[in-house]
Chain A
Amino acid sequence: MVDSAALAVITFQSTVIGLVFAALGLGFNIVYRVSKSINLAHPAIVLLAVYVTLVASSYLASHGLASLGFALGTLVAAVVGFATGVAMEITIARPLRGRPPVALIAATLGAYYILKGVAKAVARDMWTTASYRLPGISISLGPVVVDATDIAAIVLAGGTLAALIVLHRFTRLGVAMRAVAEDPYGASAYGLPVKTLTMLSWGLAGLAGALAGVALASKTGVEPSIDLYVLEALAASLLAGLDSVAGIVVGGLALGFVRQMSNYFLMSWLPGFGDAAAFILMLLVLLVKPYGLFGTERIERV
């Protein structure tokens, strides 16, 4: 028999982890929309942001700002994430514009290793397992206990998703970015600054990755191998459709629920099946809808 209290806890945690996966996957989707390629350096941007937050918050704590350490550290990480995204657009994506997508995929793979080295350099002695210092908040909602790590993850992941979806759908800047993503030549003809908007998109993808990374590290602890979770989030992106920004919420939540529920209910028979289950779900969806649940179907005439 299913324990209802346990089910409530797992449902809540599935939602939180699903939001985190959605926010992590968002960076892949934003880049895909403007550059029609997968940014394999995205996991390293996340890793870099996670350690920047740790280093910055520890530095602030050692200077008597412990209570503000996490918040300010996250802010620094967001700036670093944005700047890294912009730098990648200028140094990698822009020179490779017009080349086959595989060239950009290969270049971002190279950037992944470089950024991982940079993350190590930033972390120095802190390149190990650690936890962010968060206040000891604990709120009971029936059987579910919500603590500071849950709140941090919900606020950062949910906030990032909400802000970027609103920006994309309901602001003039978002409309311009969508226009550039749909038809860069047409957008240019209408006088839109295509280069700047593409660069901004990469920057926002980096920013989303950074904030999602801090949300993730709140739930997993800071780990040198935390970037592996970002590859799982790629499944959420593919499930939603790589060019769908809003659809990623559904993709992330589906991934979170399938992963956690499978892990819990199949624990005795197929331990650790959750990771595989998420990818099986992705595979099944892609077999039926090759462009994902919300992806734009492209028809090529020959």
Chain B
Amino acid sequence: MSRAAAIGAAIVIIIIVAAAAYMVAGKGAASPTATASPTAAASPTAASPTQTASPTQAAGGSAASKPKEITIPVGLLVDLSGPTSGVGRGYARGAVAAFKYFNEKGIYTKDGVRVKLEYYERDYGYNPTRAVQYYKEFRDKYHVYAIVGWGTADTEKLSTQTAKDKILYISASYSAVLVTRPYNFFPAPDYSTQACAAVTWMAQRKPHGTLVLLYDHRVEYSKSPIPAIKAMAKKLGLKVYEVDLPLAATDADAEAAIQKAMQYHPDFLWCGNTISSCSRAAKAMAKYGLKAVMVANVWGFDERFPSLAGAPEKLANLVAGVSPWKWPEYMKDKPGYRELYEAARMLGIPEKDVNLRFMQGFINVWLLVKAIERTDSKTLLQKKGEALKEALESSCNGEPIKLGDITPPMRYCPGNHLPFRSSYIVVWNGKDFVFEGPITPKGVDCVKATLKASGG
């Protein structure tokens, strides 16, 4: 083949591969506008022409010319390619499904104006610096009212700015630090309160036992509940030791951590990383016959845990996870969970993919929908994110917010966005998952313990 022919062939192949890659990557990574715009046929207002008021126009308009429909921009910040993408992908899928589902079903303000959510999805790869860049894009280019976000480091970093910019921020991070931040919300107890529930459960099983904390000492998300765990363990008489386990752990790292932990003869292990790292540690536990009970953080344990750990039988009654909610598979016909499956059916998502991570993404968007339903169109257009924040905080002394049976009644108060305090401990019994609880930690203010340690 001549040189010219080789170059020609090369160019053709590169174009074909680039086009294929663009089509694929465009669905997830940094697609410029992954917006949800329901078809006219599916829209209840399709029979009459809709009046879509852009926020700026409507903000200047009078109340008398109430729009029939408004579209509000929302940012969706997810990790599809970074170290937490193992759980981030399911979360993103749930959030996207919720945007589409609620847009199709119709979201209405208190005064009956239909609201459509136009969302812009960005994959920041769990890189806080990139998160800040995307935040600026959301704010300056798309003028978003709200952001459905992801990690602890980036959400905490952005929380001061979101308060200044008055943008509602619903995160997948349940860090205690965010509980007091004015524009940050999530439909769960914070990590510290969840972890305190786990410590309470441990103390109920074996008072004065020994607890080893396995977590990445450099990662904000992993470090977040540690002060609260220590405070709760002290209160309940558990001895505590700490061992570093990297968030991106190889078997070699996990085995080193378990070897170190075994020197303390633990009765319990707390795993504060994500599922990949925690399941490697559980695998090492099984390999070296450590008979302690591991309880993992909410992002460290889900339906996949036993198969990822690779020793489902050996780990019977030795691995568990904290979860503020029961998992979809066990609650299919209950209110709230039904909506998850309905959304999945509507969008052609297989039922097996409606799991804990999917639900976490879904309910974060649902919380945003609840905020919209608790405000009126004029206030929404005028005060934007501030209106949404006030709508959620109206639950403090008013009607609590409920996402079907997924959450208990939730109340968000100004200065305290801890909506409820109970969590389940989900135990793998060798064949199935068993939900114990809900457990509400008592005797220690776990949020305060973490805030005190972080100087907040």
Asked if residues A121 and B86 are in contact (CB atoms below 8 Å), the reply is: no
Q: Scan residues 270-290 of chain B and give those whose CB is less than 8 A from a CB of chain A.
A: 275-276, 279-280, 287-288
B residues less than 8 Å from A229 (CB atoms):
250
Is B347 interfacial (CB 8 A cutoff)? Answer: no
If the complex has contacts A129-B308, A264-B256, A272-B217, are A91 and B9 also in contact, measured as CB distance less than 8 A?
yes
Asked if residues B287 and A147 are in contact (CB atoms below 8 Å), the reply is: yes
Q: Output the least CB separation between A2 and chain B (Å).
A: 10
Contact with A along B4-32 (1 / 0, CB 8 A): 00110110011001101111110010000
Is A168 interfacial (CB 8 A cutoff)? Answer: no
Asked if residues A121 and B89 are in contact (CB atoms below 8 Å), the reply is: no
Asked if residues A267 and B243 are in contact (CB atoms below 8 Å), the reply is: yes
Asked if residues A219 and B251 are in contact (CB atoms below 8 Å), the reply is: yes
Asked if residues A117 and B21 are in contact (CB atoms below 8 Å), the reply is: yes
B256 partner, pick from A94, A219, A221, A260, beta carbons under 8 A: A260
Task: Give the one of A113, A117, A131, A147 with max B CB within 10 A.
Answer: A117
B residues less than 8 Å from A127 (CB atoms):
80, 89
- Complex: A223 Cα to B86 Cα, angstroms: 7
A residues less than 8 Å from B80 (CB atoms):
127, 224
Q: Scan residues 1-16 of chain A and give those whose CB is less than 8 A from a CB of chain B.
A: 3, 5-6, 9-10, 13-14, 16
Asked if residues A263 and B85 are in contact (CB atoms below 8 Å), the reply is: no
Name B257's closest neighbour in chain A (CB-CB).
Answer: A267
- Complex: A162 Cα to B454 Cα, angstroms: 51
Is B397 interfacial (CB 8 A cutoff)? Answer: no
Name B24's closest neighbour in chain A (CB-CB).
Answer: A121
Q: Output the least CB separation between A215 and chain B (Å).
A: 11
Is A72 interfacial (CB 8 A cutoff)? Answer: no
Q: Output the least CB separation between A109 and chain B (Å).
A: 14
Asked if residues A90 and B244 are in contact (CB atoms below 8 Å), the reply is: no
Asked if residues A118 and B20 are in contact (CB atoms below 8 Å), the reply is: yes
Asked if residues B20 and A117 are in contact (CB atoms below 8 Å), the reply is: yes
Asked if residues B85 and A128 are in contact (CB atoms below 8 Å), the reply is: yes
Asked if residues A130 and B217 are in contact (CB atoms below 8 Å), the reply is: no
A residues less than 8 Å from B246 (CB atoms):
263, 272
A13 partner, pick from B3, B10, B25, B256, beta carbons under 8 A: B256
Name B87's closest neighbour in chain A (CB-CB).
Answer: A129
B residues less than 8 Å from A113 (CB atoms):
21, 25
B287 partner, pick from A128, A138, A221, beta carbons under 8 A: A138
Is A71 interfacial (CB 8 A cutoff)? Answer: no
B216 partner, pick from A10, A94, A219, A272, beta carbons under 8 A: A272
Name B349's closest neighbour in chain A (CB-CB).
Answer: A125
A272 partner, pick from B10, B218, B251, B276, beta carbons under 8 A: B218
- Complex: A256 Cα to B90 Cα, angstroms: 33
Is B416 interfacial (CB 8 A cutoff)? Answer: no
Contact with B along A256-279 (1 / 0, CB 8 A): 100010011001100110000000
- Complex: A84 Cα to B28 Cα, angstroms: 24
Asked if residues B18 and A264 are in contact (CB atoms below 8 Å), the reply is: no
Name B302's closest neighbour in chain A (CB-CB).
Answer: A129
A131 partner, pick from B6, B217, B243, B310, beta carbons under 8 A: B310
B311 partner, pick from A16, A136, A220, beta carbons under 8 A: A136
Asked if residues B308 and A131 are in contact (CB atoms below 8 Å), the reply is: yes
Asked if residues B259 and A6 are in contact (CB atoms below 8 Å), the reply is: yes
B residues less than 8 Å from A90 (CB atoms):
6, 9-10, 13
Q: Output the least CB separation between B205 and chain A (Å).
A: 27
Is B438 interfacial (CB 8 A cutoff)? Answer: no
- Complex: A13 Cα to B81 Cα, angstroms: 27
Q: Output the least CB separation between A18 and chain B (Å).
A: 9
Q: Scan residues 249-265 of chain B and give those whose CB is less than 8 A from a CB of chain A.
A: 249-253, 255-256, 259-260, 262-263
If the complex has contacts A14-B252, A118-B17, A131-B310, are A6 and B275 also in contact, measured as CB distance less than 8 A?
no
Asked if residues A16 and B85 are in contact (CB atoms below 8 Å), the reply is: no
17 more A-B contacts (CB under 8 A) besides A115-B21, A117-B24, A256-B252?
Answer: A13-B251, A14-B252, A90-B6, A95-B10, A113-B21, A114-B17, A117-B21, A120-B25, A128-B86, A129-B87, A129-B276, A219-B252, A223-B276, A225-B82, A229-B250, A271-B244, A272-B216
26 examples of A-B residue contacts, CB within 8 angstroms: A10-B252, A13-B252, A13-B255, A14-B252, A90-B13, A114-B21, A117-B22, A118-B24, A125-B353, A128-B85, A128-B89, A131-B308, A131-B310, A138-B287, A145-B288, A219-B250, A219-B252, A223-B85, A223-B276, A224-B89, A229-B250, A263-B253, A264-B256, A271-B216, A272-B217, A272-B244
B-side interface residues toward A, CB under 8 Å? 3, 6-7, 9-10, 13-14, 17-18, 20-25, 28, 80-83, 85-87, 89-90, 216-218, 243-244, 246, 248-253, 255-256, 259-260, 262-263, 275-276, 279-280, 287-288, 304, 307-308, 310-311, 353
Task: Across the A-B interface, give the 3 residue pairs with the lowest CB-CB distance, nearest first.
Answer: A117-B21, A129-B86, A13-B252
A-side interface residues toward B, CB under 8 Å? 3, 5-6, 9-10, 13-14, 16-17, 87, 90-92, 94-95, 113-118, 120-121, 125, 127-131, 134, 136, 138, 145, 147, 149-150, 219-221, 223-225, 228-229, 256, 260, 263-264, 267-268, 271-272
